[in-house]
Amino acid sequence: MATGSKLRRAPSIRGRLVVYLLLPLVLLLVASIWADHKTFVTPLYDAFDRALSHTAVAIAAHLERGKDGQLYLEKPPFGPRHPPGNEPPPPDDVFGNHDKSPERFVARNGPAVWRRLFPGARDSFLYRVSLPDGRTLIGDEGLPIAQGNNAVGDFSFSDATYRQLVLRIASYRTQVDGQAVIVSVGETVNRRSHAVRRLDTVIGISDGIQLLLVLGLCLFGITVALRPINRLRERIAERQPQSLQPLPLEPVPSEVRPLVQSLNTLLTTVRDAAQAQQHFLTNAAHQLRTPLTGLKAQLEVLASETHDEAQQERIARLYGSVDRLAHTASQLLALARAEPSTHSPGDFTDVQLEALIGTVADAMLDRTIARDIDLGAECAPAHVRGVHWLLHELLINLVDNAIRHTPDGGRITLRCGMHGHAPYLEVEDSGPGIPPAERERVRERFYSTAGKEGQSSGLGLAIVEEIARGHQARFEILDALEGTGARMRVEFRPAAAKE
């Protein structure tokens, strides 16, 4: 069904809720990770900076003035010098293998003095002791100095890149024996980046778990919240398609209640309209049929009372016209009453097709006997769920149509039975049949063909089509099993289906 697939493609409330919750929740996760990162990274960096400044202080404490008036680092507080990335395991001798005396070590004053701050630490460490005028006394003379106010005892910090190393620099301004010096220490940022990464990971995982929990709870909540709507949907699906009973408002959540109320208003309107239509049809039937009955009966009486042959012939023609008018009126009323919207589920009962064929054949027998048509039946037990009088009307119209198109002395056979699980009704005649090209058109309203009994109303097969539709049955026009005639077949839905 086209509408079904169209409905399926439309977004579901559940899907929308999930999308509208999921997107903000993911954004929220990113924002909270960012906020947490910002919150911890400053104190963490402060702590690292403080440790770095302590190192600068320690270096300053080891400075002393030599005999030549120069400042020397009396005793390096650090491990051996090695270029970064190529460190051997920490040696036993803290002062290095080749520099036994502090004098020699200081005098060497190499351009790159790498030191490890702690044994096993990941970071490489550089230092520089310089004068305020920029001259380097000891250490790595290229190491940048963190700018700050030049007050004695002050620390300043900065980030710098030196020898392709990202460094954090701490500069300590102090005085050694009355000489103002700047002790700068630089440390690669491995350790702090590592700490930040670890914290970021931990925060990411815990926030992610939180998000998943919230999402799960949301999904659960959505499912629970949508349950009344699902129940409503099931209740609507369980109803008979023809049911116009209002839906109960009681277990419906307040948000959906207006919807159900509107639906009920619509149902009531439709039901009222259907009732009004039924009422109208009943009145119309009475107003049309009663005078037609009178007219027909009066003409019959007139014909029997008159002996003038010419007059009798005129009366017979008149009677034929009135009869056709009466037939058309009946057919129109039947067509209107066959409208599927006008019957309620209460009208549907179990209808035995054999018994139906018996009743209809009984009613049509006099007409067929008058035309010497052999009307017979081939019945197997079958029953359908349907509106009895409509199925009666359906079969009457099929037989009426067959009688009209069957020549005198012909043959009409009514059949019923089961085709697999599907009950069927069939009327076969020995008339000229209907060419395949015309089979669709003859079901149209007022498509009239001249039959043996004069012009038909052109509504008979339209009524059959309409009633079959109301019973979800298929109406087919086929070739007769024997001879040239037509075989009209109405196949109902398999018996297992209740509707």
- For another protein, which residue of 147, 265, 298, 321 counts as binding (CB under 8 A)? 298
The residue range among 1-9, 280-288, 449-457, 471-479 that interacts with another protein, by the rule CB under 8 A, is 280-288
- For another protein, which residue of 37, 122, 191, 289 counts as binding (CB under 8 A)? 289
Cα 413 → chain centroid: 52
Indicate whether 293 belongs to the interface with another protein (CB under 8 A): yes
Non-local (6+) Cβ contacts of 266 within 8 A are: none
- For another protein, which residue of 46, 177, 378, 440 counts as binding (CB under 8 A)? 378
Q: Which of 166, 168, 165 is nearest to 156 (CA)?
A: 168
- For another protein, which residue of 183, 387, 399, 422 counts as binding (CB under 8 A)? 387
Indicate whether 350 belongs to the interface with another protein (CB under 8 A): no
- For another protein, which residue of 19, 23, 31, 365 counts as binding (CB under 8 A)? 365
DSSP for 327-360, written as a single string: HHHHHHHHHHHH-GGG--GGGEEEEEHHHHHHHH
Indicate whether 454 belongs to the interface with another protein (CB under 8 A): no
Non-local (6+) Cβ contacts of 421 within 8 A are: 494, 495, 496
DSSP state of 66: -
Number of residues that bind another protein (CB under 8 A): 44
- For another protein, which residue of 300, 438, 440, 499 counts as binding (CB under 8 A)? 300
Indicate whether 275 belongs to the interface with another protein (CB under 8 A): no
The C-alpha atoms of residue 137 and residue 71 are separated, in whole angstroms, by 7
DSSP state of 371: T
Radius of gyration of the chain (CA): 52
- Of residues 71 and 414, the one with the C-beta less far from another protein: 414
Structure tokens belonging to residue 334: 């039947």
The C-alpha atoms of residue 156 and residue 170 are separated, in whole angstroms, by 6
- Of residues 116 and 411, the one with the C-beta less far from another protein: 411
Binding track, positions 318-347, relative to another protein; x by CB under 8 A: --------x---x--xx--x---------x
The C-alpha atoms of residue 202 and residue 181 are separated, in whole angstroms, by 43
DSSP state of 366: H
Indicate whether 482 belongs to the interface with another protein (CB under 8 A): no
Give yes or no for a contact between 170 and 53, defined as CB atoms under 8 angstroms apart: yes
Closest separation between CB of residue 456 and another protein, Å?
Answer: 17
Q: Which of 82, 66, 83 is nearest to 74 (CA)?
A: 66
Near another protein in 389-408, by CB under 8 A: 389, 392-393
- For another protein, which residue of 15, 294, 409, 454 counts as binding (CB under 8 A)? 294
- Of residues 174 and 413, the one with the C-beta less far from another protein: 413
3-class secondary-structure state, position 475: strand
Near another protein in 85-144, by CB under 8 A: none
- Other C-beta atoms closer than 10 Å to the C-beta of 87 total 14
- Of residues 378 and 440, the one with the C-beta less far from another protein: 378
Residues that bind another protein (CB under 8 A): 282, 285-286, 288-298, 300-301, 304-305, 326, 330, 333-334, 337, 347, 357-358, 361-362, 365-366, 369, 374-379, 387-389, 392-393, 413-414
